Amino acid sequence: MSDLRELYQEFILDHHKNPRNFGPLEGANRTSEGYNPLCGDRVTIYLLVEGDRISDIGFEGSGCAICTASTSVMSEMLKGKTVAEAEDLFGKFHELVTGPPDEVPCTDGLGKLAVFFGVREFPVRVKCATLAWHTLKAALRDGKTVTTE
């Protein structure tokens, strides 16, 4: 468990310092802003959706390490995925971060997102970890602002 915890911290710090796909996306056709008042996290998601596929993704914002890292990993994972696959992944990720801390998480198909299982020990951080996903969903749906309350 301590190895995993170390990995989790290293991984999150790495993505926090060097977020992937950071910056506005030129040619984006969907965008949405998210705000988590509990922590002060703000994120804007830019998507280029072609047909039912997310061809490209970018984001901007200022948030805590968990928020930024979660958005960064999400952007990596979702590039090239279909909207249905993205929604499926959101469901799995949500279960991962909100499950009981004493249960072994199911990480099938989550890839790098599995590292966020540590968040379930800190319920106040769940909104930090899921803000990007809620914002993504809003962008896919109608491109409006979302607040996680």
CA distance 70 to 130: 7
Q: Is 41 in the site for Zn ion (CB under 5 A)?
A: yes
Q: How far is CA 122 from CA 19, 25, 66, 101, 126, in A?
A: 22, 32, 11, 9, 7
Among 39, 48, 49, 114, binds Zn ion (CB under 5 A): 39
Q: Is 67 in the site for Zn ion (CB under 5 A)?
A: yes
Residue 101 corresponds to which amino acid?
P
Site string for Zn ion, 69-108 (x = CB under 5 A): ----------------------------------------
Among 39-47, 54-62, 88-96, 105-113, the segment contacting Zn ion (CB under 5 A)? 39-47
- Does residue 33 interact with Zn ion by CB under 5 A? no
Contact 139, 111 (CB under 8 A): no
Residue 102 CB, nearest approach to Zn ion (Å):
24
Which run of H or E residues covers position 60? Answer: strand 53-62
- Per CB under 5 A, residues contacting Zn ion are 39, 41, 64, 67, 128
